[in-house]
Amino acid sequence: MTRKYFGTDGVRGRVGDEVINPQFIMKLGWAAGRVLAREGRRKVVIGKDTRISGYMFESALQAGLSAAGINISLLGPMPTPAIAYLTRTLHAAAGIVISASHNPYYDNGIKFFSADGTKLPDDMEHAIERELDKPMSVVDSAELGKASRVIDARGRYIEFCKSTIPSVMEFRDLKVVVDCSHGATYHVAPSVFKELGAEVIAIGVSPDGLNINEKCGSTSPKLLQEKVLQHEADVGIAFDGDGDRVIMVDNRGEVVDGDELLFIIAQSRQAHGALSGGVVGTLMSNLGLEQALAEHDIPFVRAKVGDRYVLETLRERGWMLGGESSGHLICLDRTSTGDGVVAALQVLAAMMDSGRGLHELKSGMRKYPQVLRNVRLPRKMDIQGIPAIEQAVKKVEQTLGDKGRVLLRPSGTEPLVRVMVEGADPVMVDRLARELADEVEQVLAA
């Protein structure tokens, strides 16, 4: 069944469009509530990031859920992975996140977690979409859902994060710059690292509803690089707006991306005999990651782009570790979904265990130059099977030979085609990516 509203990561768009508006979000809450009520479970938790529209959509969801007879526990601004964790520990039927992750403030979205803190199963998404096509109704007044606020949500999640590394481990010798992207981790992440003994310089911790992800965080690490060098810090840590991604910076001010962090965690797990299988990456994972893992006899497979596909592959294989270049890392031996704070703690633990800095740890992996360019779609369309685009891709592949890769894929969250070229020669890769993106843009505009 084709989804009408749900994408790869819930429902997302620009505030005020045909779905990201109060009327639709209220109906979405009602539809989700109807599905949950049929299963006999009548409690959900709702959390949000710091964008200004979150207040409006929180109220809309409450109204819809209450009309369906569902009780609501409000978490306030909390990282997406915290909402997944609290869904489990509060024994809720589902968790609802109001966030557009790394997108600008004028976007927003709704995504759901199941009772076990994982992405909602496809059959439930389909059931919710079927309810959306029905006229909205209201349960009897005596059965309306009630809303209450969880006052200790922040403290619960902080303690959970700290529990994901050995209790005897401390970070007292580390100076850490933490960039919270003016997002959902602003009142959580600095406390986690401080309570574990690190000296913390916190930036991106003054959300005003409009500055989330603005020239900061994991999608814009330049500010973090500058601060690490300015403060002579050992490491920098940057999260995205909802806290499910992490990018780090070493003491030289060099960015350490998700592929490199995944390699560091995998190598550390292997050294402790705790890897439990191999590593799952995606079609976008750097060729250097695959080769570095192979040198350590660590199996590696690629899933489709998107954390839900990484998670599916991990569960199919019974493996524990996977992630994306963007910094969405999943440690299933620690939690049920991608968690930026938890992933960062695993990297810091690897540094403490090995006695080596982040720069030295990442040197075990040689990244291939990889250039990613975005081409905006003029309308919703499938680019597969367009002869002119296939011919342009084939031409670039022939130029690279067996020393590189080309990948074109539509974004799961924005009206974009992502054009990726990877190879050994950075100058050639940049040129080929630029030329290919230009050709794709011209074909789509014709």
- Which CATH number goes with the domain that contains 303? 3.40.120.10
352 lies in some domain? no
Q: Pick the catalytic residue: 66, 73, 101, 326?
A: 101
166 within domain boundaries: no
pLDDT at position 413 is: 63
20 and 143 housed in the same domain: yes
Supply φ then ψ for residue 147, to 5 degrees: -115, 140
pLDDT over 90 for what percent of the chain?
82
Residue 71: its pLDDT value, please?
97
- pLDDT for 1 beyond 70: no
Nearest CA-CA partner of 164 in 341, 293, 286: 341
What is the amino acid identity at position 3?
A: R
Residues 140 and 57 in one domain: yes
For residue 90, count other CB atoms closer than 10 A to its CB: 16
Residue with tokens 């009772």: 115
> 28 or 389: whose pLDDT is higher?
28
Listed residue (309, 287, 429) closest to 367, CA to CA: 287
Q: Is residue 383 part of a domain?
A: yes
What's the rounded Cα separation, in Å, for the pair 242 and 155?
17
Domain that holds residue 78: 11-150
- Whether 357 shows a pLDDT value over 90: the answer reads yes
Residue 300 within a domain: yes
How many residues are present in the chain? 446
CATH of the domain at 405: 3.30.310.50
> Has residue 438 been placed in a domain?
yes
pLDDT at 387: 87
**Is residue 161 assigned to a domain?**
no
Report, as an integer, the average pLDDT of 10-34.
96
- Beta carbons of 248 and 256 less than 8 angstroms apart: yes
Average pLDDT, the chain: 94
Same domain, 298 and 401: no
For the chain, helix, strand, coil in percent to 5 are 40, 20, 40
pTM score of the predicted model: 0.90
Q: Are residues 192 and 86 in the same domain?
A: no
pLDDT tens, position by position, 297-346: 999 999 998 888 999 999 999 999 999 999 999 999 999 999 999 999 99
pLDDT at 245: 97
Same-domain status, 121 and 105? yes
Residues 258, 327: Cα–Cα separation, whole Å: 4
pLDDT at 155 over 70: yes
- CB burial of 140-152 (b: ≥16 within 10 Å; e: otherwise) equals eeeeebebeebee
What is the share, in percent, of the chain residues with pLDDT greater than 70?
A: 98
Least confident of 85-99, 104-118, 257-271, 398-412: 398-412
**Angle CA 60–81–416, to nearest 5:** 75
Give whole-number Cα distances, 375 to 101, 245, 325, 372, 414, in Å.
20, 23, 19, 10, 11
Mean pLDDT of 361-383: 86
H or E segment to which residue 407 belongs: strand 404-410
Say whether both 245 and 280 belong to one domain. no
Q: Of 231, 255, 279, which residue sits at a domain end?
A: 255
Q: Decide if pLDDT at 92 tops 90.
A: yes
Number of domains in the chain: 4
Q: Are residues 64 and 35 in the same domain?
A: yes
pLDDT score of 177 more than 80: yes
Q: What is the pLDDT of residue 39?
A: 84
The yes-or-no verdict on residue 194 having pLDDT over 80 is: yes
Query: 282 and 390 in one domain?
Result: no
Q: Where does the pLDDT of residue 204 fall: very low under 50, low under 70, confident under 90, or very high at 90 and above?
A: very high
pLDDT band at 404 (very low <50, low <70, confident <90, very high): confident
Query: Is 3 inside a domain boundary?
Result: no
**294 & 408 share domain:** no
Of 209, 224, 255, which marks where a domain is finished?
255
Say if residue 35 is in the same domain as residue 121: yes
pLDDT class of 434 with cuts at 50, 70, 90? very high
Residue 167 is a catalytic residue = no
Q: What is the pLDDT of residue 384?
A: 77
Kindly state whether residues 15 and 137 are assigned to the same domain: yes
The residue among 321, 351, 367 that closes a domain is 367
Q: How far apart are CA 236 and CA 70, in angstroms?
A: 42
Check residue 219 and give its pLDDT. 94
Residue 35 lies in a domain: yes
Domain check: are 336 and 414 in the same one?
Answer: no
Question: Do 15 and 53 form a contact (C-beta atoms < 8 A)?
Answer: yes
